[in-house]
Amino acid sequence: MLDTQKPPRKKRWTPPFDPRFPNQNQTRNCYQNFLEYQRCVKTMSRRGKNSEPCEYYFRVYNSLCPTSWVQHWNEQIKDGTFAGKI
């Protein structure tokens, strides 16, 4: 992980309660944050800005999503077969 992608040193952090996903099924929580990160990075780079504000979404989806899902989605993005709208 990049340094900007890590939470501040010596400060415990975990994704907080998201009122958009209050129930037991957190699948959408993970997927939505992944999409938000990809969209944020794409928009920021299109505007020529630093993508550091997007790292919040990275930390949330990194904590919530199983790594196998993230790897699978990243491969799909690289191949151009990712089904989500980025």
| Residues that bind other proteins in the complex, under the rule CB under 8 A | 1, 6-7, 9, 12-17, 22-27, 29-30, 62-68
Q: Report CA torsion sign: 66, 67, 68, 69.
A: positive
Least distance from C-beta 44 to other proteins, angstroms? 23
Residue 57 structure tokens? 């979404």
Beta carbon nearer to other proteins, 54 or 65: 65
Distance CA(44)–CA(38), nearest Å, equals 10
Least distance from C-beta 14 to other proteins, angstroms? 5
Least distance from C-beta 53 to other proteins, angstroms? 20
Greatest CA separation for the chain: 39
